[in-house]
Amino acid sequence: MKFARFKKDNTIYQGIVTDAGIQQIEGDPYTNWSKTDKLFKLEEVELLVPFEPRHIIGIGANYVGNKAELPNELPEIPVFFYKPTSSVIATGEPIVIPDSIDEVKFESELAVVIGKRASNISEDEVTDYIFGYTVANDVTAPQFFREDGHWTVGKSFDTFTPIGPFVETELDPDKVVVKAYLNGEKKQDSETSLMIVSMRKMVAYLSKVMTLEAGDVILTGSPLGAVMMKAGDEIVCEIQEIGQLRNPVK
Ligand code: MG
């Protein structure tokens, strides 16, 4: 099932995407919701970020180019970082390049949305705690990275975390392909099986550090091929089963 949040006539609604359009739902998508009889046409609404993110956690450099490059030994502590919720925008909204620089990098990623409190869970249990999956663009200004490994500033500018368009609850995260198109030209195209630290390992690890809650979202890293983009460009991040996250760059 595909969950959406959207705006129509200044009112915010939640819904599920069907062949006929977006069917409005009421209640809490994580726990208890029901359909209403109101149906909206997809082209008549403004899509919003499909859920309200609580914590946004990313993982650094997490893909290889092919399976032969997968390391035999995994890092004991993967490089995790936080992104602020103030950096989140929806599909269609512009990514704004900060004044002092000319370009920023896109990173198309599978994003995992936690559905209920998860503390100290094992890898086998992880999918029980996942609400669904969406697409994120982990926009990055490496010009603000520091050699000591301080990434926060370069990941945190307003508009640097497009998320959407929908949350898909029935997805096999091991069998999807993460793509990105810059001005229509394909730049990223990798199966999630090329992740170094698997999604399950990541979530289990994080749950041993911090209690994860519904609305927490984990960006699982970007495939090879991410490059810089500049004002006037359009970036589309895509996972076919979820949809296209499309943002102009300003
Ligand atoms: Mg990233």
- Over residues 28-43, the pLDDT tens digits come to 999 999 999 999 999 9
Give the span between the Cα atoms of 123 and 10, in whole angstroms. Answer: 42
Determine contact, residues 225/189, Cβ cutoff 8 Å: yes
Rounded to the nearest whole angstrom, what is the distance from the C-alpha of residue 61 to the centroid of ligand 1? 7
**Cis peptide leading into 165, omega within 30 of 0?**
yes
Q: In the chain, what are the domain boundaries? A: 1-48, 49-248
Residue 7 alpha carbon to ligand 1 centre in Å: 28
For domain 1-48, the CATH superfamily is FAH (2.30.30.370)
CA 77–ligand 1 middle distance (angstroms): 16
Question: What band does 81 get if pLDDT is binned at 50, 70 and 90?
Answer: very high
Q: What are phi and psi of 4, to 5 degrees?
A: -135, 155
**Of the candidates 173, 166, 50, 153, the residue with the CA atom closest to the CA atom of residue 104:** 153
Q: What residues contact residue 128 under an 8 Å CB cut-off, 6+ apart?
A: 121
Ligand 1 centroid vs 76 CA: distance in angstroms? Answer: 19
pLDDT of residue 47: 98
Distance CA 75, CA 94 (A): 35
Closest CA to 7 of 31, 24, 26: 24
Q: What is the pLDDT of residue 77?
A: 76
- Residue 230 tokens read as 């500049």
CB 239 within 8 A of CB 135: yes
pTM of the model: 0.96
CA of 59 to the centre of ligand 1 (A): 6
Q: pLDDT (tens digit, 9 = 90+) per residue, 162-216?
A: 999 999 999 999 999 999 999 999 999 999 999 999 999 999 999 999 999 999 9
- Distance from residue 164's CA to the centre of ligand 1 (Å): 15
CA of 219 to the centre of ligand 1 (A): 7
Q: Cα(31) to centroid of ligand 1, in Å? A: 29
Q: How many CB atoms lie within 10 A of CB 106?
A: 28
Give, as residue ranges, everything with CB less than 5 Å from ion ligand 1: 107, 138, 222
Residue ranges of alpha helices (H) inside the chain are 152-156, 199-209
CA of 222 to the centre of ligand 1 (A): 5
What pLDDT is recorded for position 68? 87
Q: What is the 129 CA–ligand 1 centroid distance (Å)?
A: 22
Rounded Cα distance, 119 and 129, in Å: 10
Is the distance from CB of 211 to CB of 53 less than 8 angstroms?
A: no
CA dist., res. 9 & res. 136, Å (int): 27
Can you read off the two tokens belonging to residue 198?
């698997």
Q: Which pLDDT does position 3 carry in this prediction?
A: 98
HEC sequence for 145-175: CCCCCCCHHHHHCCCCEEEEEEEECCCCHHH
Expressed in angstroms and rounded, the spacing between residue 78 Cα and the centre of ligand 1 is 13
How distant, in Å, are the alpha carbons of 32, 53, 55, 174 from that of 219?
26, 12, 11, 15
Backbone angles phi, psi at 152, to 5 degrees: -55, -50
- The CATH number of 49-248, from 3.40.50.300, 3.10.20.30, 3.90.850.10, 3.40.50.720, is 3.90.850.10
Distance 223 CA to ligand 1 centre (A): 9
Give residue-wise pLDDT tens across range 204-249: 999 999 999 999 999 999 999 999 999 999 999 999 999 999 999 9
